[in-house]
Structure 1
Amino acid sequence: MSSSLFNDFDPVSSKQWKQQIQYELKGADYNETLVWESPDGIKVKPFYHTDEFNEPLASGGKATSFTICQNIFVHDVEKSAGRALSTLKRGAESIRFTIPDENIDVEKLVARLPVDVPIYFNLGFLSIDFVKKIDVIAKEKNATYYIQLDPIAQLAKDGNWFSHKEADLEALNTISIACPNVHFLGVDGSLYQNAGATIVQQVAYILGHANEYFNSIATINKPVIIQVAVGTNYFFEIAKLRALRLLFNLIAKEYDHNFECHIIATPTKRNKTLYDYNVNMLRTTTECMSAILGGADTVANLAYDALYHKDNEFGDRIARNQLLVLKHESYLDKVDNPADGAYYIEELTQQIAEKALALFKDIEANGGFLGQLKEGTIQRKIAESAAKEQELFDSGKEVLLGTNKYPNKNDRMSGDLELYPFVKANPRKTLIVPIIEKRLAEKMEQERLAMEEKAD
């Protein structure tokens, strides 16, 4: 029955659809009325049709194999190791340890963990000896370990290298040879999204960032780990990850690097709020969906209260359960590339890829990514994009429910802040102007907190 359902209807071409729409508009211009444009210049049409497409883009990524990752900040080794074991029993499939210094006993940290669980080490320092320790453990256990070590991200975020450019890049070269059992190279692209870069800028800057490593490290014989922050524009974010993988593969082949990049995605902080904080769960749910459907290899959710609470069991459990529901109850892991062939997403992917590639080429033609960081060009472009988005939020055109629309005036947060949730000013001498992460709601929230204090 289903195979012959439409046999009695003549096919309708995209041209015929457009003519009919034009007729219904009663003289209004089709492009001006129905085709809208994103801040990146991505044009979105009212409909998409099969006769405008050829074969689906080979986006890569496998939704069937994405893993649910639990973030753990390591302060006490024994407690962190116990927490990792507990969270694995409750549904996590990989662990990411954020390690603040090299005094952590990494051997003790992973001693009790199953060898078949992928583990990410997000290092806030650069130490060849520490990475060598992890490499030895990986070899002994035959385990899969990813080292998120990114001196360029350190420069971009902090304003200074770990040591200095030559020493940092030489350390990566040493690690690439001395530590063959770990995935050692990370590119943290989440900074650009959280600071307010547009989608096209994010993809182009990640490519430029990665290209600096291809030019500086003699041997990269493991997949590059790319960390991406996922925003709230559902379909655009799916297309962003697909375009990123396509362009990374294109550029990597120029260096005879034939490994797929390994994408670890996490929800953005930029649209998260203190007030009406439960809405953060809705935001992170759609963002995790975009990450999965866009082909992320690993998804590490953000707890709804991560802005103002220290890590806690309840927040972690809710964040983990969101991913468990998406995987085991929404069945998002049943098809490898669920977005392939969706005309709208294919078109978005194509446009983002084309514009990001053009911007990447412009960066390379004008000093490269590090050169433009040193000149302040990257920082200025991100600041301009962030200011435009902030203006949309301040005017109410970009909505965060519970904050700039339908706020609960009785909601009080001043007594619940365990963490400082705003940009911290730390004037000091830096090599470059750092890229600053900032949430859209910060100014409004500070005003509300000040009013609470006055009322008290």
Structure 2
Amino acid sequence: MNNLWKDFDSVSAKQWKQKIQVDLKGADYNDTLVWQSLEGINVKPFYHQDDFENSFNPIPGQPSNWNIAQSIYVDDEVIVNGIALNAIDKGAEAIIIIAEELFDIPAVFKNFPFDKVAIYCKFSFLSQEFYNELIAFFSEKKATIYYGIDLIGNLTKDGNWFHSLEKDHQILENLVQNSSVINSIGVNTATYQNAGANCVQQLAYGIAHANEYLNHFSETNKEINFTFTVSVGSNYFFEIAKIRALRLLHATIADLYKCNVNCHILAVPSKRNKTLYDYNVNMLRTTTECMSAVLGGADTVANLPYDAIYHKSNKFGERISRNQLLILKAESYFDTVSNASDGSYYIEALTQELAEKALTLFKDIERNGGFLSQLKEGTIQKKIKESAQKEQSLFDEGKLKLLGTNLQPNLEDKMKENLELYPFVKTKPRKTLLEPIIEKRLSENLEKERLENEK
């Protein structure tokens, strides 16, 4: 093989471009082959070593392996325990506990294999007493636990603090100061993606979001370890680069605070492009999204069941979503190399450009008062709406295609009788401190119209 390469001369980027222009037979290179993404990035038809002045630096904090997670909603503690143990028996390597109210901790984690399976908490409440119980329980069990408390994430999604600014921060400070709590703070960037923010916005808002916590805790000298929750869309290579860029940006900001430059990333497929009709296509979407998450370097990947937007939690949907990840890991060799995307000219270029654009936007946010200030002013919400509307217009015009929905739809497909969950944006008028960031799927308006016309 070494001798074979010596028989061929290397081809420069200039030579490649000249050859392409000859083959275009007079057509304009930029108009024909270069396209612009929603982030304003011009994507070229090829990338070459000549495009880079320096060699590639490794992405900080990339994991040597990734875990398969399953999300479980806490309702009946005994049932939840059974679901968790079954999921672990069938291949889950991490469990995400989702709860809206207090629950019986020992009952949920009865016979749980704490030495083998990590636990992520996604709670829509904040209770000092409950967290004290949780910390004492998990400390005794020597569990690997990611508490992921995100006060700002709740504010962006709900429009209010859990209790109040002062009380929320006091509870979080107490937990951060607890010596047995390592992974206390979460940053949920999934809300931004599901609401329509582009990749650059997601990165900039995520880092600005984390920077608010770093500012607050900078004087405590407490080591802050962030758990980022990232929602992965269908723009395959951009999503790979997005996760890599997040690690670069986090390392840059954390280093200024003398904090741990490595972060932990939990990745989940986007809800924004999921559809009600021809729902089996959702499995194809989530498969490529999970692939992007793995190749981008997520620590843990939790798949989204194909029927999650309209069905309650069910064994079949959960089994299929888990098996998609098992196939990627055990049969498709996605666990063989931990940094498979490193050195790809296209992905390296995207990573660099996304990080640079996001850093520019982050600096602009900081110059204008910071993330919380811009949330209160409504600037962040306005920018996300503008991005979402651009994407929505492309979908409405048929330029952004969702198979089975605005491309080759099966008009005989009926869904009205299958809805266990309301699959559209819910309105709940209430007084809020600021305008919440609302998640919305691209196909909602079209699906509402189809449901109304079903006979």
TM-score range, shorter chain: over 0.9
* AA partner of residue 44 (structure 1): V
Deviation track 1:28-70 (CA, whole Å, cap 9, x = no partner) reads 3322322211111111111111232332232235464110001
Q: Return the offset for 1:258.
A: 1.7
Q: Residues 248 and 300 of structure 1: is their aligned pair in 2 closer, same or farther, counting only changes over 3 Å?
A: same
Provide the rounded CA distance (Å) in 2 between the counterparts of 1:391 and 1:159: 27
Counterpart-to-counterpart distance in 2, 1:259 and 1:246: 9
Q: In structure 1, what residue type is equivalent to 2:203?
A: V
* 2:188 match: 188
Q: What letter is aligned with 1:289?
A: M
Name the structure 2 match of 1:431: 433
Task: Tell me the residue number matched to 2:450.
Answer: 448
- The TM-score, its normalising length taken from structure 1, stands at 0.97
AA paired with 2:247? R
Is 434-443 or 222-231 further displaced after alignment? 222-231
Aligned to 2:200: 200
Matching residue's letter, 2:35: W
CA distance in structure 1 between the aligned counterparts of 2:105 and 2:428, rounded to whole angstroms: 31
1:99 matched to 2:83:
no
**TM-score, structure 2 normalization:** 0.97
For the 8 Å contact 2:203–2:242, the answer to whether it is kept is yes
Q: Are the aligned partners of 2:247 and 2:263 in contact in 1 as well (CA < 8 Å)? A: yes
Q: After TM superposition, give the deviation of residue 289 of structure 1 in Å.
A: 0.3
Counterpart of 1:37 in structure 2 is 36
Show the counterpart of 1:26. 25
Name the % identity.
57
Q: 1:131-150 counterparts in 2 under 5 A?
A: 131-150=131-150
The DSSP-based 3-state class of the residue aligned with 2:6 is: coil
Post-superposition CA distance 1:155-214 (Å, at most 9, x none): 111111111212212221111013523411111110000000000000000000000011
Residues 61 and 326 from structure 1, CA distance in 2 versus in 1: closer, same or farther, beyond 3 angstroms?
farther
For structure 2, the 5+ residue unaligned runs are none
Superposed, 1:70-81 pairs within 5 Å as: 70-81=70-81
My pick for the range that moved more, 327-336 or 20-29, is: 20-29
Q: Report the residue type matching 1:314 in the other structure.
A: F
Deviation, structure 1 residue 108? 2.5
Q: Secondary structure at the match of 1:273?
A: coil
**What's the CA shift for 1:417?**
0.3
**Aligned with 2:342 (options 337, 340, 348):** 340
Q: 1:182 to 1:110 in 2, by over 3 A?
A: farther
* Contact in 2 for aligned 1:64/1:332 (Cα 8 Å): no
> What amino acid maps onto 2:26 in structure 1?
G
How far off its partner does 1:222 sit?
4.6
* 2:405 match: 403
CA contact (8 A) 2:71 2:302 kept: yes
Mapping of residues 163-312 of structure 1, within 5 Å:
163-178=163-178, 180-217=180-217, 218-312=220-314
Cα distance change on mapping 1:152 and 1:3 into 2, 3 Å: same
Check whether the contact 1:149–1:186 (CA below 8 A) recurs between aligned residues. yes
CA distance in 2, matches of 1:187, 1:237: 18
Q: Give the match for residue 420 of structure 1.
A: 422
User: 1:340-364: CA deviations, max 9, x gaps?
Assistant: 0000000000000000000000000
Q: How far is 1:111 from its partner?
A: 3.1
CA distance in 1, matches of 2:382, 2:304: 28
Paired residue secondary structure (1:70): strand
1:112 is matched with: 111
Give the distance between the partners of 2:353 and 2:57, measured in 1 at CA: 12
Per-residue deviation, 1:3: 2.1
Q: Contact 1:60–1:295 at 8 Å: present in 2 too?
A: no
Q: Which amino acid aligns with 2:100?
A: P
Task: Give distance in 1, aligned partners of 2:181 and 2:393.
Answer: 48
Match of 1:11 in 2: 10
Q: Does structure 1 conserve the Cα–Cα contact (< 8 Å) formed by 2:250 and 2:261?
A: no
Deviation at 1:127, TM superposition (A): 1.2
- Partner Cα separation in structure 2 for residue 365 and residue 62 of structure 1: 31
CA contact (8 A) 2:252 2:261 kept: no
Q: Which residue of 2 aligns with 1:49?
A: 48
What amino acid is the match of 2:27?
A
Superposed CA deviations along residues 275-313 of structure 1, whole A, max 9, x for unmatched, are 000000000000000000000000000000000000000
Distance in 1, Cα, partners of 2:358 & 2:415: 40
CA contact (8 A) 1:222 1:259 kept: no
Contact in 2 for aligned 1:96/1:119 (Cα 8 Å):
yes
- Report if the CA contact (8 A) 1:57-1:340 is conserved: no
Contact 1:277–1:304, Cα closer than 8 Å, also in 2: yes
What is the total number of aligned residue pairs between the two structures? 451
Matching residue's letter, 1:9: F
- Structure 1 segments unaligned to the other structure (5+ residues): none
How far is the alpha carbon of 1:82 from its aligned partner?
1.3
- Alpha-carbon distance in 2 for matches of 1:9, 1:171: 65
The alpha-carbon deviation at position 107 of structure 1 amounts to 2.6
For 1:29 and 1:63, locate their aligned partners in 2 and report how far apart those are by CA, in whole Å: 43
Q: Deviations over 1:393-418 (max 9, x none)?
A: 00100000000010001100000000
Report deviation, 1:142.
1.3
The residue matched to 1:65 in structure 2 has which SS? coil
Q: What value does the CA root-mean-square deviation take over the aligned residues?
A: 1.3
Deviation at 1:139, TM superposition (A): 1.7
User: Greater shift after overlay, 52-61 or 258-267?
Assistant: 52-61
Distance across 1 between alignment mates of 2:191 and 2:320: 25
Cα distance in 1 between the residues matched to 2:18 and 2:254: 44
Residue 138 (structure 1) shift: 2.2
